[in-house]
Chains A and B, each alone.
Chain A
Amino acid sequence: MVRSESSHEAREVLDADDVQRALTRIAHEVLERNKGAHSVVLLGIPSRGVPLAQRLAARIGEVEGRDVPFGSLDITMFRDDLRLRPARGLGRTELPGGGIDDAVVVLVDDVLYSGRTIRAALDALSELGRPQSVQLAVLVDRGHRQFPIRADYVGKNLPTSTRETVQVLVSELDGSDAVLIGGTADDDPADPTREGRGSV
């Protein structure tokens, strides 16, 4: 796992409270923009997008007073760099009971970087149904896009150099919430391990 090796001089840019506040704000923005949570479905991209989607769904549910459907969307099979590295295990795709047809799907990921993950997610989504619209929520936007993709909801804009790594920790998987930034020599924004998902 590249992330942990490269984080030896990592610096914390968001602490646990900052992450909580960012998620709360995103939850309210989702409600504001969609005029309520009606037909909103949150889909997290494994691995760290999934707990984030779950938390956003819980927060939106608290405000609205009803359960908001959430699930996960694995994009491994749709990556454009599959042939560049050995085959790897798959994450889970799990849609809520109602499916995604005619829903407002909010994709949730930890870091937005090259945009390739989201491109793959849009492809994966089209195999599963036809949402009314698709929005994107990310905890961190670190720039360096390689596709015409932008996020609708951003927890924190983090201007970075391509030589740095951004690592998002979530308590469900890592024991605590934080966003760390560290230095490394590798500078390929297309490398998915740099988007904060070293374990895929």
Chain B
Amino acid sequence: MTRHLLSAADLSLDDATLILDTADELARVSDRPVKKLPTLRGRTVVNLFFEDSTRTRISFEAAAKRLSADVINFSAKGSSVSKGESLKDTALTLEAMGADAVVIRHPASGAPHTLAHSGWIGGSIVNAGDGTHEHPTQALLDAFTMRRHLSTIAGRKVVIVGDVLHSRVARSNVLLLATLGADVTLVAPPTLLPVGVDQWPCTHSYDLDASLVGADVVMMLRVQRERMNAAFFPSVREYSRRYGLDADRMSRLPEHAIVMHPGPMNRGLEITAAVADSDRAVIIEQVTNGVSVRMAVLYLLLGGSDSALGGDL
């Protein structure tokens, strides 16, 4: 049993399928007049956000509230962190308040791992994005969205395009999609692929047009200019011409292919407005699905006497 969700790599095929199936049932709750279940009544979920986020924090908050958990939102801005409080002291404070789960977003890769294994905190830790490392619930909601549109994931061709170097979304997606049996291709300029990408369970390419042939899913990544401390490409114009998704490229995709983006989008850079607003883009749906998937994760980690993940099913 694993009480935490730190990495998409920790999920077996059974775990991932259980989460997606549970999310499928929970998605139906969102269609009801009463969008609430009593399951986590009396449990406290802390959203510990050291980094700006809109959709992930709101999504976790909505998920926890729909399961009747008490939610405490903590953002580093306006807290004692700005006075220099360490992660350890923040964690001890949350432990003293009796947090059953801590959803953490942190600019440092590995912060959730530290929190989970330090013994500072007794509750479940859910990684909501750590540095350039991982963002497992994003990968789960992406897989959920793919499954809804394509019905199966195994054998599907998924092309992930853009700033892979800084992307925790790409890493988590590659790991999860490999578990689920998809065929993943990463496409980026050489400067934006991480060292050691050939060890990942996927292929990579520098040529977008060649990679898009026969793609079932195209996932565009945000160019993370806030993490870029060097010149990774000559100009925005050149990047968007070679690696951006425009209407022309989209028209060459197979009929059933979907376009995804984890948000927030840089319209006109990695994706044109025409593509982002087309009916092939499932970007808004990804947000909706995020709530169902996070409900499933919180339910499976906290709903019973013990986590339902990591068992020998």
Partner-B contacts on A (CB < 8 A): 74, 77-78, 82-94, 123, 127-129
B89 within 8 Å of A (CB atoms): no
Chain A neighbourhood of B22, CB < 8 A: 89-90
Asked if residues A83 and B304 are in contact (CB atoms below 8 Å), the reply is yes
Partner-A contacts on B (CB < 8 A): 1, 18, 21-22, 25-26, 28, 32-34, 36-39, 299-308, 311
Rounded to whole angstroms, the CA-CA distance of A61 and B302 in the bound complex is 43
Asked if residues A93 and B38 are in contact (CB atoms below 8 Å), the reply is no
Name 29 A/B residue pairs within 8 A (Cβ), A-sorted: A77-B299, A78-B38, A78-B39, A82-B304, A83-B304, A83-B305, A85-B305, A85-B306, A86-B1, A86-B308, A86-B311, A87-B301, A87-B302, A87-B303, A87-B304, A87-B306, A87-B308, A88-B304, A88-B308, A89-B18, A90-B22, A90-B25, A91-B25, A93-B28, A127-B32, A127-B34, A127-B36, A127-B37, A128-B34
A92-B25 contact, Cβ under 8 Å, with A82-B303, A82-B304, A86-B306: yes
Chain B neighbourhood of A91, CB < 8 A: 25
Rounded to whole angstroms, the CA-CA distance of A92 and B27 in the bound complex is 11
A77-B39 contact, Cβ under 8 Å, with A87-B307, A90-B22: yes
Total of A-B residue pairs, C-beta within 8 Å = 58
Asked if residues A86 and B305 are in contact (CB atoms below 8 Å), the reply is yes
Q: Nearest-CB distance from A35 to chain B (Å)?
A: 30
Asked if residues B305 and A84 are in contact (CB atoms below 8 Å), the reply is yes
Rounded to whole angstroms, the CA-CA distance of A83 and B301 in the bound complex is 11
Q: Nearest-CB distance from A87 to chain B (Å)?
A: 3
Chain A neighbourhood of B38, CB < 8 A: 77-78, 123
Chain B neighbourhood of A85, CB < 8 A: 304-306
Q: Nearest-CB distance from A78 to chain B (Å)?
A: 6
Give me 12 other A-B pairs in contact (C-beta within 8 A), A77-B303, A83-B304, A84-B304 excluded: A77-B38, A77-B299, A78-B38, A86-B1, A86-B305, A86-B308, A87-B301, A87-B303, A87-B306, A88-B304, A88-B308, A90-B25
Asked if residues B308 and A89 are in contact (CB atoms below 8 Å), the reply is yes
Rounded to whole angstroms, the CA-CA distance of A87 and B18 in the bound complex is 11
Chain B neighbourhood of A89, CB < 8 A: 18, 21-22, 308
Q: Nearest-CB distance from B256 to chain A (Å)?
A: 26
Specify which of A82, A84, A87, A129 lies most central, judged by the most chain B CB atoms within 10 Å of its CB. Answer: A87
Chain A neighbourhood of B34, CB < 8 A: 127-128
Partner of A87, one of B25, B33, B299: B299
Rounded to whole angstroms, the CA-CA distance of A103 and B18 in the bound complex is 34
Q: Which residue of A lies closest to B67 (CB)?
A: A77
Chain B neighbourhood of A127, CB < 8 A: 32, 34, 36-37
Rounded to whole angstroms, the CA-CA distance of A89 and B300 in the bound complex is 8
Q: Nearest-CB distance from B179 to chain A (Å)?
A: 18
Asked if residues B304 and A86 are in contact (CB atoms below 8 Å), the reply is yes
Rounded to whole angstroms, the CA-CA distance of A74 and B299 in the bound complex is 15
Rounded to whole angstroms, the CA-CA distance of A94 and B307 in the bound complex is 26
Rounded to whole angstroms, the CA-CA distance of A88 and B299 in the bound complex is 9
Chain A neighbourhood of B307, CB < 8 A: 86-87
Rounded to whole angstroms, the CA-CA distance of A74 and B39 in the bound complex is 13
Asked if residues B37 and A77 are in contact (CB atoms below 8 Å), the reply is yes
Chain B neighbourhood of A86, CB < 8 A: 1, 304-308, 311
Chain A neighbourhood of B21, CB < 8 A: 89-90
Chain A neighbourhood of B299, CB < 8 A: 77, 87
Specify which of A74, A77, A83, A129 lies most central, judged by the most chain B CB atoms within 10 Å of its CB. Answer: A77
Rounded to whole angstroms, the CA-CA distance of A164 and B133 in the bound complex is 53
Top 3 A-B residue pairs of the complex, sorted by shortest distance between their CB atoms: A87-B304, A87-B303, A87-B308
Rounded to whole angstroms, the CA-CA distance of A82 and B305 in the bound complex is 7
Chain B neighbourhood of A92, CB < 8 A: 25
Specify which of A86, A93, A123, A129 lies most central, judged by the most chain B CB atoms within 10 Å of its CB. Answer: A86
Q: Nearest-CB distance from B67 to chain A (Å)?
A: 8
Chain A neighbourhood of B306, CB < 8 A: 85-87
Chain A neighbourhood of B25, CB < 8 A: 74, 90-93
Rounded to whole angstroms, the CA-CA distance of A66 and B33 in the bound complex is 29
Q: Which residue of B lies closest to A92 (CB)?
A: B25
Asked if residues A128 and B32 are in contact (CB atoms below 8 Å), the reply is yes
Specify which of A92, A123, A127, A129 lies most central, judged by the most chain B CB atoms within 10 Å of its CB. Answer: A127
Rounded to whole angstroms, the CA-CA distance of A123 and B38 in the bound complex is 10
Q: Nearest-CB distance from A92 to chain B (Å)?
A: 6
Rounded to whole angstroms, the CA-CA distance of A92 and B22 in the bound complex is 10
Specify which of A90, A91, A128 lies most central, judged by the most chain B CB atoms within 10 Å of its CB. Answer: A90
